[in-house]
Amino acid sequence: MRTATSVILTFLSLFLRTPLILGDQTPLTLIYTSNTLGEVESCGCPEAGDAGGLGRRSYYIDTVRKESKNLLVLDGGDTLVLSFFEKESERQKARKRAEVVLKIYEKLGYDALNIGDTDLGLGVEYLRTLQKKSKIPLLSANLKEKKTGRLIFKSHLFKEVDGMRIGIIGLLTPDIYPFIQKELKSYLVEDPIKAALETINRSLADCDQIIALAHLNPSEIESLAEKVPQISIIIGGNDRSFIFPKQIHRSLYVQTDAFGLYVGRLNLRLVKGSSEFVDGPPIRIGRGPLEKETESPAAEGKNTYENFFTLLHPGMESDLEIESMISSSRNQLKRPLP
């Protein structure tokens, strides 16, 4: 009996003394996509396995929304269009298609979309027109008017989640294809690091965490993480690659591949004042009514994350309202030809 009692008392002592109970952390679920390139349905191509589609993505987001206390849905750029179309008739088709795509993204509940370099092929003035019609902020902290230096779109977005102040900034690569450069006669793409530092120091200095929607090349992302340590999470990127989460300096870098075949999901527990991330779910202590979630000792006082990539495969359910929107907009969704 003494031995059994001793074991129970030792367990309770360890349980009650632990300082790691997660009550002082803010849970946040972040759904992210990148380089979806205006796709609304599965491409039907063998290499994609008939995956993707905004109907499936919408159903998935709704499922996550129901189970998450706090949710942000963000896109890293090149959301609206597949390519640049020099022929004016084909560009008009691309613009009509982009308008429908943006309306569907509103229905999906995106909090912000970053401007990507391929999006610029629609024309900056046309993107401005789209922004006036849309509830979703189009972000870009470094796309500016050449003469005045004024921003064309909002540079950032501010969200407060359970007292946690979160800033979201949009950045665009200056490495623009020559055939899209022609669309930028009256505009300039400022150095993203310079723009990020100015925006953060001016508008986001009091944020607890900063998320960068960074439509940048890999080397530019490395420089961004090194030179702008205030950024907590970087959602890339311009190279259309599939990137598993990795720590670059103090920033957590994530990215999905192109065409919307996958959706990324980060389950975060954020700590005020912490700039470090530890990979791993909470651990559970106790059983029944005494069960509690705690951090591992290595995660004490640090942000923690779990990352999931979900393939939008043909067996998944689809949002019928989104499918109806797509079906009723077939004329506008006709693909332009190169």
Q: What is the CATH number of the domain that holds 38?
A: 3.60.21.10
Q: At 6, list the tokens.
A: 């001793």
For residues 9 and 302, give the distance between their C-alpha atoms in angstroms, rounded to a whole number. Answer: 29
Q: Is 293 within a domain?
A: yes
pLDDT of residue 337: 75
Tens of pLDDT along the chain (338 residues) come to 444 444 333 333 333 333 344 447 899 999 999 999 999 998 665 656 789 999 999 999 999 999 999 999 999 999 999 888 888 899 999 999 999 999 999 999 999 999 999 999 999 999 999 999 999 999 999 999 999 999 999 999 999 999 999 999 999 999 998 888 888 889 999 999 999 999 999 999 999 999 999 999 999 999 999 999 999 999 997 887 778 899 999 999 999 988 999 999 999 999 988 888 888 765 444 455 444 455 555 677 889 999 999 999 999 999 999 999 999 999 999 888 76
Q: Is 277 within a domain?
A: yes
For residues 196 and 211, give the distance between their C-alpha atoms in angstroms, rounded to a whole number. Answer: 11
Q: Is 47 within a domain?
A: yes
Q: Is 3 within a domain?
A: no
pLDDT of residue 2: 45
pLDDT of residue 249: 92
Q: Which of 115, 120, 79, 121 is nearest to 100 (CA)?
A: 79
For residues 101 and 326, give the distance between their C-alpha atoms in angstroms, rounded to a whole number. Answer: 9
pLDDT of residue 110: 98
pLDDT of residue 44: 61
Its domain, for residue 143, covers 28-328
Phi, psi dihedral angles at 75 (to 5 degrees): -125, 135
Contacts of residue 28, Cβ cutoff 8 Å, sequence gap at least 6: 70, 71, 72, 161, 164, 166, 268, 269, 270
pLDDT of residue 244: 86
Q: Is 16 within a domain?
A: no
Q: Is 287 within a domain?
A: yes
Q: Is 180 within a domain?
A: yes
Q: Is 2 within a domain?
A: no
Q: Which amino acid is at 238?
A: N
3-state helix, strand, coil in the chain (%, to 5): 35, 25, 40
Domain count, the chain: 1
